Structure 1
Amino acid sequence: MKRDVSAQLEVAITAPTTVEFQIAVARQPNLELTESLVFDLDGWIVNPWEITGPHGTRIHKFSVGTGTLRANYSATVLGAAPPQAPSDYDLALYLRPSRFAESDKLLGFAATEFGSGPPDAELAARVSAWVGRRIRYVAGSSDPIDGAVETLLSGAGVCRDFTHLVVALLRAVKVPARVVSVYAPGCSPMDFHAVAEAYVDGSWRALDATGLAPRSTLVRIATGRDASDVAFLDNHGGEIIVNSLRVTAFVEGYLPFDDHVTPVSLG
């Protein structure tokens, strides 16, 4: 499978700061990646240093003064990465509550709604389908600081909110779960997308409660506990303003059909 993805951002820097971008495709075995990543501040090239994180995640970090910062990324991705076996630490970490996936606040609710059966693929798919029915996709309906509990109470959100609720409910029923930021061919509205991964039946399985894109085409960017780990831009210092953001993602040929029930692993 060939996938072409890109991201262009323009950011106003109002005071010297250090920024971190997570927009590059994760490096994974058996994945052929051809890419270009350029940062410039008022036309002057800025050279980042790359920090490698878990699951192939890559952070590009640098310090800049005031001005207009532009980030231009494009990549062609060929092939599919094999599913990676989790470490014991992964299985422990992704069962714990986190900042935006407060599973400890949903233990009783999850047990009442989904029972206490074995943590298998059927249970994970049932949780994702329940969130897809219960939550309405409404752009601008949530705040960046909202977590799974706020999403459950409000009944509306965007992809990160759907994903946080899926992850929190899965952890509450003892299924290790994590958040993945992805490029998503077919997603509408097109943007950086977020999906869940659940560890069931010996493998990580992708879950997208929004149903906005076929899971087999998704391209992994960053993986973590919740949105705080996978944010496309983080700022440590002066104030910044994102003036514009454009994301594209295409797959060669026709978009495959996805029933969002059949188990799928991200490649």
Structure 2
Amino acid sequence: MTCDLAFDVQEPADIALQIAPAARGGRMHEERLDLAVDGAPLAPQVELAAPHGGRIHLLRAAPGLFTASYRAHLDRPHLAPRPGTATATATATATATGEEPLDLQRLTYLRPSRYCPSDHVVGLAVAEFAALPQGRRRVDAVVDWIHHRIGYVAGASTVHDTAEDTLLTGQGVCRDFAHLGVTLCRALGIPARFTAVYAPGLTPMDFHAVFEAWTDGAWHVHDPTRRVPRDGLVRIATGRDAADTAFAAVLGGIATLLSVEVTATVTGLLPADDHRAEAVLA
């Protein structure tokens, strides 16, 4: 997988990058992150550990053309669809990585957030889905509803659009589909979180967004766009919504994004995906 970013830095800028796969996203064979301003290599960056294995690279760029070039080769993680396996794995991983207790995670991902104002859509969620059994059946219904009701239209939304905007316009991109899934699940009392991924098979290639809902004792991954098989997704960052998982954030100074190029490929063929089957992202 690769990612190439270019920024026009007008004033010295502090930038946070989230473009590297999460620490448990697969066994890494090769990895390289090259940073430069006007072609001159940038001083080594700081890497911070983010929630759920995420990795944030912090740097300061002087005025000029700032470029970031990331390259990685890793073993593709496989989904864990078998009931009972996911809970033990999730618990062991949380303990090993020092993550928040699951109770705190579930509480965090039940609350409304910037792009997922779940408290505004409780009436709609209850009217559409409350008659269904609690748990996985409701989440499957939410995913089906989004897939059939919301049109995937490139460029239909902006970085300011929330799940409410997606409901009103009836269109969006993967980010909007995932936000709406998170929002409706939280409105139904189901913890849900937003996840940015590399997605082999996506056309046109770009970063991709899915969501995870807590059902049957595990965080199951769902993709309302159904544009790529979930087997092959590589976790980058996970949080309440896109505000927590942006691939680049300017924390100070002035820097304008000029271009983004992403690739994600696998050796061999990607399998077909039954999007209603249980799946747990590594």
- The C-alpha deviation readout for 1:107-165, integer Å capped at 9, x for no partner, is 11100000155432221111011101111111111110110001000001111000000
Q: Does 1:157 align with 2:164?
A: no
Aligned residue among 110, 113, 116 for 2:128 = 113
Measure, in 2, the Cα distance between the counterparts of 1:112 and 1:141: 27
**CA-atom RMSD in angstroms:** 1.5
| 1:127 equivalenced with 2:124 (yes/no) | no
Q: 2:49 aligns with which of 26, 49, 52?
A: 52
Distance in 2, matches of 1:157 and 1:220, equals 22
- Secondary structure in 1 aligned to 2:164? helix
Contact 1:95 1:175 in 2 (8 A): yes
8 Å Cα contact 1:116/1:173 also seen in 2: no
Given residue 174 of structure 1, which amino acid in structure 2 is its aligned partner?
G
Contact 1:121 1:263 in 2 (8 A): no
Q: Which runs of 5+ in 1 are unaligned?
A: none
- Equivalent AA in structure 2 for residue 37 of structure 1: L
TM-score by length of 1: 0.94
Letter of the aligned partner of 1:148 in structure 2?
Answer: A
Who is 2:217 aligned against?
202
Q: Which residue of 1 aligns with 2:83?
A: none
Q: Does 1:27 align with 2:23?
A: yes
What residue identity is the alignment partner of 2:198?
A: Y
Corresponding residue for residue 249 of structure 1: 264
Q: Which runs of 4+ in 1 moved over 6 A?
A: none
Structure 1 distance, partners of 2:134, 2:191, is 9
The answer as to 2:7 corresponding to 1:11 is yes
Residue type of the alignment partner of 2:253: G
Paired with 1:219 and 1:67, the residues of 2 have a C-alpha distance of 32
How far residue 229 of structure 1 moved from its aligned partner, in angstroms, is 0.1
* Structure 1 match to 2:276: 261
Q: How far 1:237 sits from its partner (Å)?
A: 2.3
Superimposed CA distance per residue, residues 150-208 of structure 1 (whole angstroms, 9 cap, x where no aligned partner):
10000011110000000000001111100000000011121000000011111111100
Is 1:146 the counterpart of 2:143 in the alignment?
A: no
- Secondary structure of the residue aligned to 2:35 is strand
Q: What is the total number of aligned residue pairs between the two structures?
A: 262
- Where 2:48 maps in the other structure, the secondary structure is strand
Letter in 1 for 2:5: L
1:221 pairs, out of 222, 231, 236, with 236
For residues 119 and 57 of structure 1, the distance between their equivalents in structure 2, rounded to whole angstroms, comes to: 30
The equivalent residue for 1:37 is: 33
Task: Judge conservation of contact 1:20–1:62 (CA < 8 Å) in 2.
Answer: yes
Contact 1:119 1:174 in 2 (8 A): no
Deviation at 1:43, TM superposition (A): 1.7
Question: Out of 69, 74, 82, which is 1:77 matched to?
Answer: 74
SS in 2 for 1:215: coil
> Contact (CA 8 Å) 2:76, 2:234: kept in 1 or not?
no
Distance in 2 separating the partners of 1:22 and 1:79: 19
Task: Give the fraction of aligned pairs with identical amino acids, expressed as a percent.
Answer: 44
1:189 aligns with 2:204: yes
User: Matched residue of 2:231: which SS?
Assistant: helix
Q: Which runs of 5+ in 2 are unaligned?
A: 79-85, 92-100
Distance 1:84 1:72 in 2: 32
Contact kept, 8 Å, 1:178 with 1:224, in 2: the verdict is: yes
- 1:60 positional shift: 0.4
1:213 positional shift: 0.8
- 8 Å contact 1:216–1:265 — kept in the other structure? no
Give how far 1:16 is off.
1.1
Residue 263 of structure 1 and its aligned partner are, at CA, apart by 1.1
Match of 2:95 in 1: none
- CA distance change for structure 1 residues 62 and 205 in 2, over 3 Å: closer, same or farther? same
